[in-house]
């Protein structure tokens, strides 16, 4: 199935580069573009893309507010739209805001274009992604900051099994499904099943929210 993508960036060159690269793929399709946040919200509502690749710094409505509106209960997210934010390492404050707004992933602008496309695929599949080098520092700082997370109050983990607790801990450490399977000596299919059950039991939208829960509940200790 083709992943439908909406590109949002105030720099036409960025959009053009991604559009050209996506044109050479079989599983991704650009269904629209926007040069600002307000236009992104309108186009997302009209097009209902699978993934919005969202810049943060834009004139007028920025990517954080646009993400918040897209991910609102009555917004495009209700139809399955997810947001992948483009950021840089020196924009942590913006990333915290985007995380609270409901973004499912974070790609860094100096990543290879192929890696950004891989991030689009990961987010579209519901796995969520944070660029390497950002994950644990970002989430640890995020959890320690004031303000509610996008999904509300911290989730209780009392209803999960001991094995699911182990899986949640590994998710909090940034492990992939394959790494979880290897560390726990279980099959990949079993690892995926545990993750799926955690998403359901903890009413989490995606893997990012599971990482947050692992930190909030002390299963993973922030390293400073």
| Cα separations in angstroms, 115 against 62, 68, 162, 194 | 24, 25, 34, 27
**Is 3-132 in CATH node 3.40.50.2300?**
yes
pTM score: 0.73
Domain boundaries, the chain: 3-132, 133-224
For residue 77, the model assigns a pLDDT of 79
CATH topology of domain 133-224: Arc Repressor Mutant, subunit A (1.10.10)
Distance of CA 152 to the CA centre of its chain: 17
| Ranges in the chain, pLDDT < 50 | 148-153, 224
Based on its alpha-carbon atoms, the radius of gyration of the chain, rounded to whole angstroms, reads 17
Among 52, 73, 74, which residue's Cα sits nearest to residue 205?
Answer: 73
For residue 118, the model assigns a pLDDT of 86
CB atoms within 10 A of CB 26: 6
> d(Cα 66, Cα 189) in Å, to the nearest integer?
36
């Amino acid at each position: 199935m083709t992943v439908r993508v909406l590109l949002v960036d105030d720099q036409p060159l960025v959009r053009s580069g991604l559009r050209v690269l996506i044109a050479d793929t079989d599983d991704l399709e650009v269904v629209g573009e926007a040069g600002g946040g307000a236009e992104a919200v309108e186009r997302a509502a009209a097009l209902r893309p699978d993934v919005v690749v969202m810049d943060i710094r834009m004139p007028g409505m920025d990517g954080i507010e646009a993400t918040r509106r897209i991910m609102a209960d009555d917004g495009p997210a209700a139809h399955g739209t997810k947001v992948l934010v483009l950021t840089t390492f020196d924009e942590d404050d913006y990333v915290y805001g985007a995380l609270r707004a409901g973004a499912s992933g974070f790609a860094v602008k100096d990543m290879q274009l192929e890696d950004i496309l891989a991030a689009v695929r990961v987010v579209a599949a519901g796995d969520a992604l944070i660029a390497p080098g950002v994950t644990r520092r970002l989430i640890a700082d995020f959890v320690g900051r004031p303000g509610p997370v996008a999904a509300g109050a911290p989730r209780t983990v009392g209803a999960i099994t001991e094995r699911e607790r182990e899986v949640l801990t590994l998710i909090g450490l940034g492990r992939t499904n394959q790494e979880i399977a290897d560390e726990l000596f279980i099959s990949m299919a079993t690892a995926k099943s545990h993750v799926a059950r955690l998403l359901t039991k903890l009413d989490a939208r995606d893997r990012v929210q599971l990482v947050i829960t692992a930190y909030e509940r002390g299963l993973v200790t922030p390293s400073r």
